[in-house]
Amino acid sequence: MNKVNGVIAGAAVPHAPQFHSLPATEDADQVERVRTAMQEAGEGLRALNPDVVIVMTNDHGDEFIVGPTPAFTVHCGNVAQGMHKHKGPWSLRGDIGYDVVRGLMQEGFDPAFTLDSMVPTAFTIPYEFMGYERDAPFLPLYINSYVPPQPSAERCYAFGKAIDRVFARLGLRAVFIASGGLSHYPGTPQYPNPDVTTDKIIYGEMAKGNLRHLLSYSDEALDASGNVEARAWIALAGALGERKPDITAWEPSWHHTYAVFGWSQEARDTAIAPHYPPIPPEHVGLARALFELRKSEAACRQYLADGAGFASNYGLTSAETDALTAFDTDRLRDGFNIHALLVAGAERRLEQLKSATHT
């Protein structure tokens, strides 16, 4: 069954300004390959016909650096001005901004909100590359990636999970675009030397669907590897859960490791049945009977001599009595959800006693 509401799909994409400026030092063919991968990811998201498109990225000192610098900010305006080649108005989802702020407060987060902040190219380049027009409204979320103290990986992941729950409560199906990364060091002497070694590890784990791998990076590790912008990706990981992407692209350049991931298959609500579910309270008598068989030779002898009589000591239903007297392993374990260690232990003890009796 497809997930009804919340974050149903998403993408993790880069936003390098060179995608627009295309200086002589940039590989135009590589940029076109990145655009193609991002366009494919965008098409996958639009095919799901979501109610809301979320775009999360970081500020680069254009809005939040010497004044108030919140960890997370929600844009609550209906329109925002773009920058550089994307200057002019961009349509936003101001109709839900305050609802998202209130919902996050209920989740234990206190985000800032803005009505007039600009949407820098870190928002609009990926939005355009993914095939969206400026009149297709989106909800901008700002995350502080560059200005210490930044939110930890754990906090970013929790924020993403909270976003998913907020949209589920709002009854909206959202797709989440996380813009940033992989490694680069803007404004520093390290800029020509991205940490491709670390990026390969991150890319490989994410391609396998191990999104929680991102939680293994401390603030210091994110900074050292040039992956401070991965915070938006970590929030996306929290919103999506452990899911394998169906679109991937790896394009390292001389100054920046470009990587694209798309999760365009709609999330499903089906949970994986655990091997060891909790024992249902309504079957505690059956669990107790099996526990006695697992622990007591005398109980096993009574059971082997008179299974129905043994069962009558525990106030069982007729269905429970039938399963126990037949010692129907599958029914006891999977039908009544009795802990596998109880069922296997009781069965082993009975078999041992039967074997000893016959020798």
Q: Would the pLDDT of 272 be above 90? A: no
> Which position has the token pair 């209920």?
106
Whether residue 64 contacts residue 144, with contact meaning beta carbons closer than 8 Å, is answered with: yes
Q: Across all residues in the chain, what is the average pLDDT?
A: 94
What separation in angstroms does the CA of 76 have from each of 63, 103, 233, 276?
Answer: 15, 13, 22, 45
Q: Is the bond into 126 cis (omega within 30 degrees of 0)?
A: no
**Tens digits of per-residue pLDDT, 12-37?**
999 988 888 888 998 999 999 999 99
Confidence of residue 62 (pLDDT cuts 50, 70, 90): confident
Q: Would the pLDDT of 65 be above 80? A: yes
Whether residue 181 contacts residue 227, with contact meaning beta carbons closer than 8 Å, is answered with: yes
pLDDT at 267: 64
| Mean pLDDT for the stretch of residues 282-290 | 96
Provide the percentage of residues in the chain whose pLDDT is more than 90.
Answer: 87
Structural domains in the chain, sorted by start:
6-263 (3.40.830.10), 281-358 (no CATH)
Whole-model pTM above 0.95?
no
Whether residue 69 contacts residue 147, with contact meaning beta carbons closer than 8 Å, is answered with: yes
**Tens digits of per-residue pLDDT, 220-241?**
999 999 999 999 999 999 999 9
The C-alpha atoms of residue 64 and residue 144 are separated, in whole angstroms, by: 8
